[in-house]
Amino acid sequence: MAAAWAAIAAAKAGAATVLVDKGFVGTSGVTATGGPNHWWVPPDPALRREAVENKHAASFGLGDPAWMERVIDTTWRTLPDLAPYYPFGSDGKGGKYYSGVRGSEYMRALRAYATAAGVRILDHHPATQLLVDEEGAVAGASGHARLRGEDWEIRAGAVIMATGGCAFRSGLIGSYGNTGDGYLLAAEAGAELSGMEFSIQYTVSPAWASTRTLPYGAARYYDEDGMEIIQPPRGHAHYQALGAALLKGPVYADLIDAPAELPPILKDIQPFTPPPFVRKGIDLFRERWPIKLFGEGTIRGNGGLRIIDEDCGTTVPGLYAAGDATTRELATGAISGGGAVNSAWALTSGQISGAAAARRALASRTRTAGRVRTTGVVGIQPSSEDRPIDQKTIEADVDYHMNGYQRSLWRSKGQLNDTLASLDDHWRNLSAHGQAEGLALVGLRETAAMTATARWCTAAALARDESRGIHVRVDAPGLEADGAVRLLCGGLDRVWTRPEIHQYAEAAK
C-alpha cells in the first residue's frame, strides 16, 4: 500500500517510476485482505492539536508531534484523491465515508491510480539486492522476474523501500510475502533500523485460518473443559492470558456477546471473513470454535528502517523508506499504530518519500549511467563452501522464537539470549554456506531476511532493559527513567544496538 502511494507521488512529480512488487500490486501484503481505517481528523486547529497531544502523550516519549501533524494533514488531503478509482461508500448522512477502506478495493484502486499516473508496474519481480554507485549512494536494484524466469536489473536515481513489516510467516493473513526482505537489502547497503524491540503483537483468529478481526472484539474464551478464561480485553495481559491457556490446550471462542447488528452485514463489510467458517460448516456466531493467536511481528509492531530526515530518507544516500518497512515510532511511539495510524503513516510516508525520491532522481539524472556494484551478500557470496541449507528447519525455528507464545509473551534476558544464540547459529550457516540463483535465490533470501529481522528484534529487546509500550520484559516490568530514547540497531554478521542520542527533531536542526 505504501509502495503504491510512493510510486504515485514520484510519477506525479515527473519522475520515470517503476514499481516492482514481489507479488501483484493489488493482492500483495496485509492491506489487500484487511480493511484499514486511516487516522482521520478534520482540519480544525483545536481538533488537530488535541489529536496530536493525545497521541504524543500515549507514545511513551518516543513519538514526534511534528510528524504526527504531517501524517494527519497529508492523509486528510490525499485519501479522497482515490475517488475516481475507489467506490467510497455512504457515510450515512448523505456524504461519502473516506477514512476506512476495504483492502481488496483499496489496493485495486491504488493500482489503477498508479497506472493512470504513469507508473510502470512490474508484478512478480522480487528484489534480491540493491545497487550502489561509487560513492555508496543507492542507484537501483536487481532481482528475479519469477513468472518469466529471468533476472532483472533496474538503474534508478533513487529507490524507495516499501516492503512492509515482517511477521516471520506466522500464518497471519496476507503476510506470507512479508519476510523482511527490505530490511535486509537496506542493511546490506548500510541502513540502520529503529524500534525493533516493538515487535510483539498478535491477532486472534480461528485456529485453522487467520482472518481479520472484526467479529471477535466481544468474544468470550473457554478452555477445553468449558471453563471461561478471564482475560483483560486488550493489551499484553490479554495475549498472555490467552497464550497461557493455549500453551496448555485448545481454547474456544464464543461470539454470543457480539453486537446483534453484526451477523447479517458481516459479509457486506468483509466478505473474506465468513468463508473460513461457512466452508467448514461452522456458524461463527452460534457455535464455539478453536482459536489461535497469529503473530504480527513488525506489521502491527512498530520497528523498521530508521528515518533520518523530513524526506523519509534512511542513513543511506538515495534510499528512502515508507510504510511498515520503516519505524512507526515517529507517528505512534512505543505503542502499536493498530490499523488507523499505520495506514495513515503508510500513505503519508509513501507520498513524502515518493516526492523526495523523484526530486533526487530528476536532479541526478546523469549519474545513473555510471558504474554500480551490487550489495547483496547472504545467499549470494557465501564466505565458505556452498552447502545445501535446510530452509524449512530455519524458518520453523525463527517462527518458534519470534511467534511462540512462551518466548514472545514472556520476554526475559535469559530467554532472549538463548533465542539470539539460536538465531546467530542460523545466520552463520546461511552466511557461510548459502548460495543460490534465480527463483531459489528469492526463497533463500527470504529465509535470510527473516533470520536477520529476528536477530534485530531480539537484540533490541535485550538492549531495552525495561517494559515500554508493546515491548514487555517480565524481568524488567517498569519504565526506566532514561528509557524514553529510541533504540537503533543494525549489522549483519555482527548485530549492534545503540540509543539514538539525538532525537529526530534535534538532529534535523
Partner 1 sequence: MIAHIFEDLCDGCNSCVVTCPTHVLDISNGAPVIARLDQCQTCYMCELYCASDAIYVAPEQDRAGIIDPETIRASGHLGRIRHDHGWDRPNEDGHLDQYRLLGPLLQKGGETAARRYKDLTS
Site string for partner 1, 34-63 (x = CB under 8 A): -x-x--------------------------
370 binds partner 1 (CB under 8 A): no
- Measured from the CB atom, the residue of 125 and 367 that comes closer to partner 1 is 125
**Interacting residue with partner 1 among 17, 142, 175, 194 (CB under 8 A):** 175
Site string for partner 1, 178-217 (x = CB under 8 A): ------------------------------xxx--xxxxx
Residue 109 contacts residue 85 (beta carbons within 8 Å): yes
Q: Which stretch binds partner 1 (CB under 8 A): 72-80, 94-102, 190-198, 409-417?
A: 94-102
End-to-end CA distance of the chain: 31
233 binds partner 1 (CB under 8 A): yes
268 binds partner 1 (CB under 8 A): yes
**Interacting residue with partner 1 among 148, 280, 387, 428 (CB under 8 A):** 280
Length of the chain equals 509
Residue 311 contacts residue 348 (beta carbons within 8 Å): no
Helices (H), 13-144: 29-32, 45-57, 65-78, 103-117
Listed residue (171, 483, 418) closest to 297, CA to CA: 171
101 binds partner 1 (CB under 8 A): yes
Window 451-480: residues binding partner 1 (CB under 8 A): none
- Measured from the CB atom, the residue of 33 and 129 that comes closer to partner 1 is 33
Largest CA distance in the chain: 71
Q: CA-CA distances (angstroms) from residue 154 to 17, 113, 142, 439?
A: 11, 23, 6, 18
- Measured from the CB atom, the residue of 249 and 275 that comes closer to partner 1 is 275
Q: Which stretch binds partner 1 (CB under 8 A): 95-103, 113-121, 457-465, 473-481?
A: 95-103
Residue 113 Cβ, how far from partner 1 at the closest point, in Å?
A: 17
Residue 2 contacts residue 348 (beta carbons within 8 Å): no
Spell out the residues 6+ positions from residue 205 whose beta carbon is closer than 8 angstroms to its own.
Answer: 173, 211, 213, 216, 291, 292, 294
Residue 232 Cβ, how far from partner 1 at the closest point, in Å?
A: 6
275 binds partner 1 (CB under 8 A): yes
Q: What is the DSSP letter of 214?
A: G
**Interacting residue with partner 1 among 42, 84, 265, 369 (CB under 8 A):** 265
Residue 487 contacts residue 464 (beta carbons within 8 Å): yes
Q: Which stretch binds partner 1 (CB under 8 A): 63-71, 277-285, 408-416, 422-430?
A: 277-285
Q: How far is it, in rounded angstroms, from Cα 99 to Cα 344?
A: 9
Find the Cα–Cα–Cα–Cα dihedral 322, 161, 467, 337, rounded to 10°.
30
Q: Which spans of this chain sit near partner 1 (rule: CB under 8 A)? A: 22-24, 26-29, 32-33, 35, 37, 87-92, 97, 100-102, 104-105, 123-124, 146-147, 171, 173-177, 208-210, 213-220, 230-234, 257-259, 261-262, 265, 267-272, 275-280
